Each structure stands twice: as structure tokens, then as C-alpha cells.
Amino acid sequence: MHYLLALRFDERVFGTAPTVWLQQHFAHSTPAPYDYVAAVLYLLHFVAPLTFAFTLWMRSREEFARFTSSFLVLSYAALATFVVFPAAPPWLASRHGYLPDVHEQVGVVLSAFPSHFDLPTVYQLFDPNQVAAIPSLHAAYPLLLVLFACRFFGARALLLAPYVLGVWVAVVYMGEHYIFDVAVGAVYSVAAFVMTDHVLLRLRRGRRTIESPAPA
């Protein structure tokens, strides 16, 4: 498990890790309203991409194919990185003494719900790998969604920009990611978007070449 790369980057750029500063100023023993907002934004990670994919499927099968292809490329690239370079999130680094006190704020918020909801258990079942930090897929998926939304819906898709920024701030505040993780996730997202477009364009050109009749 790697603890220092993202931590050292954040400290070099910001002086102190933004997660530490945010939790020192905003995190309390009892969740505040913004904690619940941050938790909802965090948990939309499991819902938003599927909802957007379904919307594209209903409107344009071609854009649906592009989005799902990019989504898979992004996900498998991240998985390969998790295997080759497993990196610790801030809350885990704090447990091992690399950071001052940083809480896994998602668990704090979910534990505040009535016990019959059993949300911490549900969260663990949906997110079995809670220490895969680089790249941040919580940062990458919303950006990929907005990139495709801008292409399909035009300028109206910019209304989703606060959602992307909100998720990025939430994952840092809640101790799940460093700024470095978010930045790498954004790079992965843009790369998957561009790469998939390039590959699909070449495949379409090759298909047209094969299907076009040979000159007499």
C-alpha cells in the first residue's frame, strides 16, 4: 500500500493536505447539513452513470455505445492502476500516522441514520474496495458524464458542472481522496473520452472501406 505520493503532492502544492484543513474547519462529531449533502453526492457515484447511460440509450444508441465504451475503458484502466499501484486514502493514512486526525466521514454520516436502514452495511456491499484511491473514480465518472452530456445536449449540460465540482470537494472533505487522486481521475476520464472516440472513428472508417464496392 502506497501512502506518500498523493500526500506529498498535496502538501507541496497547498502547504497542508486540503482534507486535513477541511475536516479541521467543518467536520464535527455530529454531522452538519452539508455532511449529508456531501454523502449524497458521494453515493451518486453508484447511480448517476447508470441513469445517464439509460438516458442516452433512450435517445441515441450511437451515443450510448460511445459512453459505455468510454466508461468501460476508464473503469478497467483504473482497476489496472489499483492492482499495480494500490494507494491509501487520507483516512487510512491518518490511521497509520501519516496525517493528523482524518475521519472516514462517509461512515460517520451513514451511521447517523436510524439503525433499521443499516446504511453502513449497504455501503460496504456496494463498495467492497474502499481503499482504491488513485485514480479517483468518484472524480472521473462525473467528468466523463459531463463530457458526453456536453456533446449530446450542448451548453445545457454545463448545468451539471456544480455536480462535478461538488463531488470533487466532497470526496476530499470526507477523507476519501487527495486532490492528487481527483486530478489523476480527471486525466483518466479525458483520456478515455478521447481514446474511445478515436478508436470508434477508425473502426467506422474501416467498416466503410470494407463495405464500399470495389471499382469496376
Cell of 55: 438516458
Instruction: Give pTM, 2 decimals.
Output: 0.83
Question: With 60 as the cut, is the pLDDT of residue 75 above it?
Answer: yes
Chain mean pLDDT for the chain: 84
pLDDT at 186: 96
pLDDT tens-digit series, residues 81-117: 998 999 999 999 999 989 988 888 887 887 776 554 4
pLDDT tens-digit series, residues 168-210: 999 999 999 999 999 999 999 999 999 887 776 665 555 555 5
- CA dist 102 and 114 (Å) reads 24
pLDDT tens-digit series, residues 35-57: 999 988 998 888 899 999 999 99
- CA dist 176 and 178 (Å) reads 7
Cell of 26: 467543518
Question: In the 8-state DSSP scheme, what is residue 157?
Answer: G
pLDDT at 206: 56
Ranges of each domain in the chain: 20-198
- CA dist 65 and 56 (Å) reads 9
pLDDT at 65: 86
- CA dist 29 and 141 (Å) reads 30
**For residue 115, what are the contacts with CB-CB under 8 A and spacing of at least 6?**
none
86, 130 Cβ separation under 8 angstroms: no
